[in-house]
């Protein structure tokens, strides 16, 4: 089983066993994995229409021609190796804002490229 497949299956298992208000794919983990693979990125975050928690960062986001523009850390998936490297950068307190942490990584073009990150602008994934 590939690392991506395993991570997607684990993520879906976690979502199904957690408090969850979003839609889950009726076809299950296979469809989720297929949709993730079609995005051709190693890390995908959900997107939202409001820049939070720091609205001053809104103009730093890449332009989007369709869909939502801003990172939402409430839903994301990716290769375990990339996510592990990403979270190892956390140098904050446990109660600091994770969305701001991920936003700063995403807005850094070098890191966005390094992790091959994207946002799910049109909500293709059930995150």
Write down the domain spans for the chain.
Answer: 1-38, 39-122
pLDDT: which is higher, 113 or 2: 113
What percent of the chain stands above pLDDT 70? 78
Whether pLDDT at 14 is above 50: no
Q: How confident is the model at residue 32 (pLDDT cuts 50, 70, 90)?
A: confident
Cβ pair 43, 19 in contact under 8 A: no
Whether pLDDT at 31 is above 60: yes
Which pLDDT value is given to residue 36?
A: 85
Q: Which pairs count as long-range contacts for 56-65, CB under 8 Å and 24+ apart, including other chains?
A: 57/103, 57/107, 60/107, 61/107, 64/119, 64/121
């Amino acid at each position: 089983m590939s690392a991506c497949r395993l991570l997607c299956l684990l993520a879906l298992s976690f979502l199904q066993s957690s408090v969850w208000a979003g839609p889950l794919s009726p076809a299950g983990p296979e469809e989720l994995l297929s949709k993730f693979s079609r995005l051709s990125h190693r890390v995908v975050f959900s997107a939202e229409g409001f820049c939070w928690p720091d609205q001053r960062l809104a103009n730093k986001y890449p332009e989007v021609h369709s869909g939502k523009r801003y990172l939402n850390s409430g839903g994301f998936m990716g290769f375990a190796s990339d996510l592990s490297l990403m979270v190892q950068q956390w140098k904050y307190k446990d109660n600091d804002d994770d969305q701001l942490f991920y936003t700063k990584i995403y807005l850094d073009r070098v890191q966005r490229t390094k992790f091959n990150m994207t946002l799910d602008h049109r909500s293709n994934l059930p995150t």
